[in-house]
Amino acid sequence: MTGKRIALEKLAPVGADVQRQLRWTGIALAASALWSLRALFRIVGKMKILKAIIDQGVSDFVEPYPQYLGSAFYGFALVSLVLAGLAVWNYASFRQGARTDYLMRRLPDRWEYHRRCLTVPLLGIAASVLVALALWAIYRAVYWHLFREAAAGVEDPMRLISLSVQAGQRGLCR
């Protein structure tokens, strides 16, 4: 069976550099993933401190998982917004000069126009969502693993989190 290669030039407006669009999308996703590592470092640092405090016999509370995320996933939202702008830019590129958008709408394949304008942005947005969800799940698993490890000697470990929630409702937490 021979491999079928997708012609990338059919996934973007005529004259657009698809390789460049995909390369910049990949770079932006990698930068967003690196930015999100801040949450992981925050989790690991707090759990080390919690373990040391519990080993000393002091019962301290720990923030719930969402508190650690902060702005960790804002990069993925920004990438998605920029890619939505790329879709608008792709549509606008067909309206320049000779207005080829009219010609594209008359083609036998009525979805060709939309396919060329939306494929790269939608693939990038889907990749952004998938990477963000995967990192969120990994960070959550690390949080619970380290929390269980840090609170191994505590009689009711979930009490440590509920203390934090109660303190936050009273305005005692930052």
Taking residues 22-46, report their average pLDDT. 94
Query: Residue 113: its pLDDT value, please?
Result: 77
Q: Look at residues 120, 67, 70, 66 and name the one whose alpha carbon lies nearest to residue 91.
A: 120
Task: Return the residue matching tokens 């021979």.
Answer: 2
Query: Residue 23: its pLDDT value, please?
Result: 93
Instruction: Give the three-state DSSP class for 55.
Output: helix
Query: Residue 40: its pLDDT value, please?
Result: 93
Predicted confidence (pLDDT) per residue in 36-89, tens digit:
999 999 999 988 888 888 777 766 677 788 888 889 999 999 999 999 999 999
Cα separation, 110 vs 116, in Å, equals 11
Instruction: Give the three-state DSSP class for 98.
Output: coil
Query: Residue 31: its pLDDT value, please?
Result: 97
Cα separation, 55 vs 53, in Å, equals 5
pLDDT at 108 over 50: yes
- Contact between 46 and 68 under an 8 Å Cβ cutoff? The reply is yes
Taking residues 8-20, report their average pLDDT. 79
Cα separation, 36 vs 56, in Å, equals 32
Q: Token pair of 112, please?
A: 């060709």
What residue spans of 14-157 are helical by DSSP H? 18-55, 65-69, 74-93, 100-105, 112-150
Query: Residue 112: its pLDDT value, please?
Result: 77
- Global pTM value: 0.79
Query: Residue 147: its pLDDT value, please?
Result: 87
For residue 82, the tally of other CB atoms under 10 A from its CB is 17
Taking residues 109-115, report their average pLDDT. 78
Query: Residue 165: its pLDDT value, please?
Result: 46
pLDDT at 28 over 90: yes
Query: Residue 124: its pLDDT value, please?
Result: 95
